């Protein structure tokens, strides 16, 4: 029994160590600070002094500029650096490439941000929790990546494939968890936000192939993820 217990403890400890090495931070590096400043002068930390309406204007402006500069197309290959400067140099990427840049760009502009892994329910006939649990561990499962940005009136979902943010017709921020149930409150909405999904905060990759050191375990921002788990 003691031998079995030791093996269990050893396995859990090893997994914890691997996951800690695969942690994904959102700190803006000095190089990124200079890069963002060259693209968006007088924008660093600006969100701290804006009204809600001007916060939305800034969010939309930065979102639109990134989408115009980095087209939806060939993704940054796995096991490659995918920080904001890499993305702008490549001029092409998928949702998770742009969402990573949004995480840092909006933080640099003075907002609090959270990375969101949108996992779609591919088995709607099953119990939701069971289906999502299966999908989470199914290779190549259907997913999307976006960024939540905290405004003075609440969290807003900033899409990474279109110029859309989760603001209702009456100007109310809608949490990423409530978009599907409140879809009628929007003037327009991307089709992929109308499907059942599970919004996992802080998860960047299920396979460990997006960020160094590329260990084959999930890649998380632990602060965001554990806060989500505690409040889910």
Domain range for residue 154? 2-231
pLDDT by residue for the chain (232 residues), tens only, comes to: 444 333 433 444 444 445 566 799 999 999 999 999 999 999 999 999 999 999 999 999 999 999 999 999 999 999 999 999 999 999 999 999 999 999 999 999 999 999 999 998 776 655 565 566 666 766 667 899 999 999 999 999 999 999 999 999 999 999 999 999 999 999 999 999 998 898 999 999 998 999 999 998 899 999 999 999 898 7
Per-residue burial over 63-78, b if 16 or more Cβ lie within 10 Å, else e, is beebbeebeeeebbee
Long-range contacts of 167-176 (CB under 8 A, 24+ apart): 167/56, 175/148, 176/116, 176/118, 176/146, 176/148
Q: How far is CA 183 from the centre of its chain?
A: 20
- Taking the C-alpha atoms of residue 158 and residue 166, their distance in angstroms, rounded to an integer, is 7
CB of 174 within 8 A of CB of 185?
yes
Q: What is the CATH number of the domain that holds 135?
A: 3.10.620
Q: Looking at residue 4, what is its pLDDT?
A: 38
Token readout for 140 is 């190549």
Q: Looking at residue 217, what is its pLDDT?
A: 87
Q: How far is CA 3 from the centre of its chain?
A: 41
Alpha helices in the chain (DSSP H): 2-21, 30-39, 52-69, 84-90, 95-108, 128-136, 222-231
CB of 89 within 8 A of CB of 109?
no
The tokens 């299966």 sit on which residue? Answer: 134
Q: Looking at residue 15, what is its pLDDT?
A: 47
- Taking the C-alpha atoms of residue 204 and residue 91, their distance in angstroms, rounded to an integer, is 21
CB of 202 within 8 A of CB of 223?
yes
Q: Looking at residue 1, what is its pLDDT?
A: 46
Domains identified in the chain, total number: 1
């Amino acid at each position: 029994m003691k031998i079995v217990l030791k093996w269990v403890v050893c396995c859990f400890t090893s997994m914890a160590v691997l996951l800690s090495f695969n942690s994904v931070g959102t700190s803006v590096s000095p190089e990124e600070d200079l890069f963002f400043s060259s693209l968006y002068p007088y924008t660093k930390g600006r969100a701290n002094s804006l009204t809600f309406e001007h916060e939305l204007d800034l969010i939309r402006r930065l979102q639109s500029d990134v989408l115009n500069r980095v087209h939806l197309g060939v993704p940054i290959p796995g096991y490659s650096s995918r920080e904001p400067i890499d993305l702008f140099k490549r001029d092409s990427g998928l949702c998770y490439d742009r969402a990573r840049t949004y995480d840092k760009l909006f933080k640099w502009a003075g907002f609090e941000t959270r990375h969101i892994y949108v996992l779609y329910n591919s088995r709607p006939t099953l119990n939701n929790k069971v289906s999502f649990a299966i999908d989470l561990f199914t290779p190549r499962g259907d997913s999307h990546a976006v960024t939540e940005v905290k405004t003075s009136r609440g969290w807003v979902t900033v899409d990474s494939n279109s110029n859309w943010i989760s603001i209702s017709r009456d100007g109310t921020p809608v949490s990423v968890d409530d978009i599907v149930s409140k879809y009628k409150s929007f003037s327009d909405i991307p089709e992929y936000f109308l499907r059942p999904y599970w919004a996992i905060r802080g998860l960047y990759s299920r396979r460990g192939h997006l960020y160094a050191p590329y260990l084959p375990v999930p890649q998380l921002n632990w602060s965001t993820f554990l806060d989500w788990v505690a409040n889910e």
